[in-house]
Amino acid sequence: MPKVGMEPIRRKSLVEAAISAIHSKGSIDVTIREIAQRAGVSQGLAHHYFNNKEDLLLSAMRHLLAEYRREVRAKLEEATTPHERLIAIIRASLGSEQFRPETISVWLVFYVHAQESDKAHALLSIYSRRLRSNLIYNLKPLIGARSGAVAEGMASMIDGLYIRKALGSLPAGMSAAELVEDYLERQIGQ
């Protein structure tokens, strides 16, 4: 029987172990048993907290999305104008915090997994809609009716440049954030 008060601690430990296992393997071809061993708990206890591996993987992604959301909010607190808020979103999305090796591994695997899993696809869609919504909200005062198209361009650049930078295919000396910021400035200037 699990100890009272240990559930949040063990859940967090299992989520962190899942992230670590995915990073080590480079895929989601990890077992609940491997994850439980990394977390220092029994396989049975892991199943007690998570019905199956899919639930645990989704919790790992929610954990990373929550970290991302906290980073965005922290940067937004420093911003006062729509333009500053857009820069904050770009920098939070493409900041060094998002490029920890474990974070990269889980994001890349999650993009692929979302093609096969309805639940993973739904979670990825929530991230995409929030990003687009935040961009549109801050673009509207600056460019009005064009805000939807520009937000889509910015979101596509953020996701695409994240993948390119994560895979090391962004040319040396190029900053992913600066490329998106340049696009933003050109769109505002039109």
Tell me what pLDDT residue 127 has. Answer: 95
Dihedral angle at the C-alpha atoms of 125, 126, 130, 136, nearest 10 degrees?
Answer: 40
Q: Which fold has domain 61-189?
A: Tetracycline Repressor; domain 2 (1.10.357)
* pLDDT(3) > 80: no
Please tell me the distance from the alpha carbon of residue 93 to that of residue 89, in angstroms, as a whole number: 6
The candidate with the shortest Cα–Cα distance to 59, out of 4, 16, 103, is 16
pLDDT (tens digit, 9 = 90+) per residue, 40-89?
999 999 999 998 999 999 999 999 999 999 999 999 999 999 999 999 99
- Ranges of each domain in the chain: 61-189
Encoding tokens for residue 145? 């009716």
3-state secondary structure of 84: helix
Non-local (6+) Cβ contacts of 69 within 8 A are none
Q: 176: which residues sit within 8 A by CB, 6+ positions away? A: 94, 158, 161, 162, 164, 165, 170
Tell me the pLDDT band of 6, cut-offs 50, 70 and 90: confident
Residue in 96, 102, 107 with CA at minimum distance from that of residue 160: 107
d(Cα 14, Cα 43) in Å, to the nearest integer? 10
3-state SS assignment for residue 30: coil
Tokens of 34: 């491997």
Region for residue 40 given its phi and psi (left: phi exceeds 0; alpha: psi -120 to 50; beta: otherwise) = left
pLDDT, tens only, 10-22 = 899 999 999 999 9
Q: What share of the chain is helix, strand, coil (3-state, %, to 5)?
A: 80, 0, 20
Taking only the tens place, the pLDDT of each residue in 128-183 is 999 999 999 999 999 999 999 999 999 999 999 999 999 989 888 889 999 999 99
pTM of the shown model? 0.88
CA-nearest of 118, 99, 17 to 60 is: 17
pLDDT at res. 26: 87
Is a pLDDT exceeding 70 seen at residue 2?
no
First to last CA, the chain: 64
Q: Which of 88, 58, 105, 76 is nearest to 177 (CA)?
A: 88
